[in-house]
Chains A and B, each alone.
Chain A
Amino acid sequence: MAALTDQTARFNTLKSLPAPVVAMMALIGLGVLFDNFTNAYTQFVMVLILTNVVLATSLNLVNGFTGQFSLGHAGFMAVGAYTSAWLVTRPELGALPDFLKFLLLPIGGGLLAAVAGYIVGLPSLRLRGDYLAIVTLGFGEIIRVALLNSDSLGGARGMYGIPSTEAVPALGLTAFSAQFAVASVWAVITFVTLWRIVHSAKGRAFLSVREDEIAAEAMGINITQTKVRAFVISAFFAGVGGSLFAHSVKYLNPSTFTFTKSVDIIIMIVLGGMGSLTGSVIAAVIITILPEMVLRELQQLTGIDLRMVIYSLLLILFMILRPSGILGRLEATDLWKMTLGRRKAEDRKVEGQRVEGKA
């Protein structure tokens, strides 16, 4: 009997596996496809989109689902990026096959970022109120100053020529499609992990902290622990995002990871809806493409860099007019279900009328 339930449990775990695997395969296939039709610039933007998906969904866990406010995502991203760029040059890792190495590097970046997240999160999340915002803002600034002053990591000059994934002929992948594959794998891992967390019992604890801390505490939830847990997970994936960023841009500079970078990611989750993972994905795509396509033209037209002015106006207007963003707390799948449900309801209505008519 025990063995049977065991097996059923295993079967249930596997049941959730096909969707992510299909998504990964589809993305990798997309990468291979785009390899032949697009130029290097478009390919770069495509990897950037996946990186931003990782960053936005992970920030949404803290800001959207747990109701805290972090302003230091770029700081954790910097930790991940520099760790990964440093690790890749280590001779100890030389034994690993190239593709596998790049697939595993984000874990290193993520872990160190998670440690940083724990150190920053513990003092500030014990308190109610917006202290986290200021502390994370300060943390981002400290990381930037520390990087500027560390000569071994390039200081103000930054790190040049960071190695990137090379072609894997055995799998039929070119340099770009291999890079895109690594990013796809991590974007899907991030999304699925966060999705499963949010829909688990522990994830409900995050939501309950967001809704009402006192009521959550009365239900036996350790509020500080829950917040710190969300924050550490978020920092881990920020580190992963940073690592992906490092190996796609191939050049790191402390001035990349300023407050502005954190704000970019915040705009994504505000636009997509705080508390909607699919919304973050959609917004990440929009916000990554927008400056490359539209704002660049606008800048050439006006001669002024209006990007941040437009972004900040967007933030204010969204908060006043539509604070829930595009999707609010709904997921794209909910919309799908709603349309399906409505159709079914309408069908039933029509059928009912038919029956009535017969009577």
Chain B
Amino acid sequence: MDQSHSQEFIQHVINGVSLGSIYALIALGYTMVYGILQLINFAHSEVYMVGAFAAYYVGSNKYLALTEHQGVGALIVLLIVAIAACSILGVTIERLAYRPLRKAPKLNILITAIGVSLLLQYSGQIVFGSDPKLFPEVIKDVSLFKIGGVEVHSLDVTILVVGTIVMLGLHFLVQHTKIGIAMRAVSSNEMVARLMGINVNRIISFTFILGSSLAGVASVLVGLKYPKIDPLMGMLFGIKAFVAAVLGGIGSLPGAMLGGVLLGLCEEMVVGYISSTYRDALAFGILIVILLFRPAGLLGSVQREKV
């Protein structure tokens, strides 16, 4: 009896961490854009949705038929496709919708972001059709090994490995490269960064490319884990990822990763031990609690506004 309890618990932890790392990937996109523009990029969740559909169409039997060539190679192809599609879309949105409003009141940009999100959602329903599609199964879900009597599946391992590689890469990029330093400079003080000779517009575009690429990676991982994709898939998932970003401290990259994993764990525990109906309400409950007691998030720092 006890044995099976601990097994169940470990199973939930594995599920939670793999779901959480997907949240973290999307949360990073939100937090980077927020760090630079102080904008909740509502369209980010739709960028992620489009990434999933791009991968679906390219991987489907019509084009590459990747289900017949399962393996790491096929996964990499899908990842590249999704990253490319998301980056192009992300930069286009920034150019056409956000850049003309750079100097406008923040509220106007927020409304535009919501508009872009809805536009993609509903044109997605027209273009892709609103019925769910089955994502190509490029990695076969087999049990690889056992931890404490719990089978670890290849999908969870794939998600964890890809997620970890991407996040380590991001960490290196932001902390140790020239463009990463520029990003942090713009985020810390845009005007001073401009005076130091940084091309702010280029850095903002690059941030959108980076965030959208992470969303692309996440979209493929989600497609593998939960193979039914539809044009409305981004909405709720995106909001929850944003909650994860707030939980960790908006604007902080390690915070977004921590928040994502924590949220994934909490959600799996609630589903496992309480009821799955509260799954979607949980994130917002966490959000309200964190805003009440620690508005800067777990790893964020309080910033005083100076006059």
Contacts and interface: CB of A to CB of B under 8 A. Distances in A.
Contact of B101 (A131, A274, A319): A319
B287 interface: yes
A214 B305 contact: yes
Interface in B100-117: 100-101, 104-112, 114-117
Interface in A293-315: 304, 306, 308-309, 311-315
Contacts of B246: 131, 134
Contact of A134 (B107, B126, B242): B242
B111 A138 contact: no
Interface stretch (B55-63, B221-229, B278-286): B278-286
A309 B284 contact: no
B104 to A, nearest CB: 6
Nearest to A129: B38
B64 interface: no
Contact of A138 (B39, B114, B239, B295): B239
Given A69-B107, A270-B111, A316 B97 contact: yes
B118 interface: yes
Contacts of A137: 239
Interface string A128-153: 11110111011101100110010000
Interface in B71-118: 97, 100-101, 104-112, 114-118
A124 interface: yes
B281 A142 contact: yes
Interface string A298-341: 00000010101101111110011001000000000000000000
Contacts of B284: 135, 138-139, 141-142
Given A67-B107, A320-B112, A138 B243 contact: yes
Nearest to A304: B126
Chain B at the A interface: SS class: helix
Contact of B292 (A123, A313, A323): A123
A314 B123 CA distance: 14
A89 B281 CA distance: 29
A290 interface: no
A263 B117 CA distance: 12
Interface string B270-307: 00000001101101110110011001000000000101
A126 interface: yes
Task: Give the residue among A130, A145, A306 with the most B Cβ atoms within 10 A.
Answer: A130
B285 to A, nearest CB: 8
B108 A138 contact: no
Contacts of A133: 40, 110
B236 interface: yes
A178 B116 CA distance: 42
B122 interface: yes
Nearest to A263: B118
Nearest to B111: A319
A127 interface: yes
Contacts of A139: 284
Given A137-B239, A138-B243, A312-B116, A319 B108 contact: yes
B97 A320 contact: yes
A144 to B, nearest CB: 9
A124 B291 contact: yes
9 contacts: A124-B288, A128-B305, A135-B287, A141-B280, A142-B281, A259-B235, A304-B126, A314-B115, A315-B111
10 residue pairs, one from A and one from B, having the closest CB atoms: A138-B284, A315-B115, A312-B118, A312-B119, A316-B115, A308-B122, A319-B112, A123-B292, A123-B291, A309-B122
Interface of A: 63, 67, 69, 71, 120, 123-124, 126-131, 133-135, 137-139, 141-142, 145-146, 149, 214, 259, 263, 266, 270, 274, 304, 306, 308-309, 311-316, 319-320, 323
Given A134-B246, A274-B107, 9 more contacts: A120-B288, A123-B288, A135-B291, A141-B236, A145-B277, A214-B305, A312-B122, A320-B97, A320-B112
